[in-house]
Amino acid sequence: MKPLTVTASAILGVCLLGAMSPAHAQFGDLKKIAKKKLEKEAVKEIEKQLQAPAATTPTETSTTTSGDQALQSAEAAPALGKPAANLRAITQCSSLRPSNILIGKYGDYTFQQGMSSEERTGLIGRRSAQLSDGCILPSMQPREVVYMEVPTAELKTMGGSSDWEMQCVKSANPSAGAVGQTEGLSEYPHKVNYLAGKDIMLHCGNSENVSECATGSNSNRSGEWKKKLDSRGMTMLSVLATPSTLAPANGEKLYCQYYNKPSGKSLFAFEYLRTRG
């Protein structure tokens, strides 16, 4: 608690008035008035200091701040990096490997049409990526999208769509089993066709500076991209790092693989940070 202090002038005044001699009796009334006034001021000063908040020393402030930072750090989202070895061990890679891998986000971009600016949606902020450990994709932040291509003929030899399944486990507890056993399809990545051709074949003159582009409607540009893929004998796949209302407040990491049931092997795998939105 802050120590009590009374102004020196107030105390001195009280003492001096109390020490006056009878010779000053003619000033008795004035002395009484002054004494009462000074006493009131002294009481007010004491009450003021009793009501004042305790002072915080620099050391206390530093300690409190450090404590807050430590708490915030403890509640921070899990850090992304290369999936742990026990997770990568779950995945047995197939001989078929994705290529032309891009990671970005689905969002708006603009382009000029004469004097007007038009807006469209597609894969923006894209960056090239590479596989590691055979078929492991880079880890992804919430709502990022990965695009890739695989040889069409080889993909067909591994069966149809019913022969494939996206499987995900919680990275912190993979032994609990696939989240799809207890969660709905909307809560984790389960599709490999999140993007359309028009999302890759952006409109020419786009604000993303993507040079491989086309003009026309969304449908026309999707058609142009399919022609390019067909000419190379490739099929496009794309996956969203899906948010979930079931994720904890600070998020959690999920490890997912695109699993082929007949062969027991996976085309690709990745880890991502699942958040609520």
pLDDT tens for each residue of 87-134: 999 999 999 999 999 999 999 999 998 889 999 999 999 999 999 999
Q: Do residues 201 and 213 lie in contact, with contact meaning Cβ atoms separated by under 8 Å?
A: yes
pLDDT at 247 over 50: yes
How does 73-112 read in b/e, with b if 16+ C-beta sit within 10 Å? eeeebeebeebeeebbeebebbebbbeebbbbbbeebebe
Q: Is the pLDDT of residue 214 over 60?
A: yes
For residue range 162-185, list pLDDT tens digits in order.
Answer: 999 999 999 999 999 999 999 999
- State the average pLDDT over residues 20-30: 42
pTM exceeds 0.85 for this model = no
Average pLDDT over every residue of 137-154: 98
CB burial of 41-55 (b: ≥16 within 10 Å; e: otherwise) equals: bbeebeeeeeeeeee
Is 275 a residue whose pLDDT tops 60? yes
Mean pLDDT of 234-259: 98
Strands 99-113 and 116-129: antiparallel
Q: Is the pLDDT of residue 47 over 70?
A: no
Q: Is 258 within 8 Å of 269 (Cβ atoms)?
A: yes
Per-residue CA distances from 274 to 77, 189, 202 (Å): 10, 10, 28
Q: Residue 40 has what pLDDT?
A: 59
Residue 229 near residue 236, CB atoms below 8 Å: yes
- Of residues 259 and 8, more confidence is placed in 259
Confidence of residue 77 (pLDDT cuts 50, 70, 90): confident
Q: What is the mean pLDDT of residues 199-217?
A: 97
Which runs of E-coded beta strand occur in the chain? 99-113, 116-129, 144-151, 164-170, 234-240, 252-260, 265-274
Record the tokens describing residue 175, joined without a space. 């032994």
Determine the 3-state secondary structure of 241 from DSSP.
coil
Cβ contact 70:261 at 8 Å: no
Choice between 32 and 228, residue whose per-residue pLDDT is larger: 228
Cα–Cα distance, 172 to 252 (Å, whole number): 8
The CA distance from 59 to 250, in Å, is 31
Give the pLDDT band of residue 65 (cuts 50, 70, 90): very low
Q: Please give the pLDDT value at position 192.
A: 98
Question: What residue ranges do the domains of the chain occupy?
Answer: 8-51, 85-274
- Give Dmax (Cα) for the chain: 122
Residue 202 · residue 122 · CB < 8 Å: yes
User: Which residue's structure tokens are 């061990």?
Assistant: 89
pLDDT at 36: 56
β-strand 144-151 against 265-274: which pairing, if any? unpaired
Calculate mean pLDDT across residues 198-227.
97
> Quick one: pLDDT at residue 76?
86
Mean pLDDT, the chain, integer: 83
Return the percentage of the chain with pLDDT > 70, whole number: 73
Q: What pLDDT score does 51 carry?
A: 56
Residue 178 has a pLDDT of: 98
- Answer whether 142's CB lies under 8 Å from 105's CB: no
Nearest to 102 by CA among 212, 16, 205: 212
What is the predicted pLDDT for the residue at 41? 60
Token pair listed for 67: 């404590």
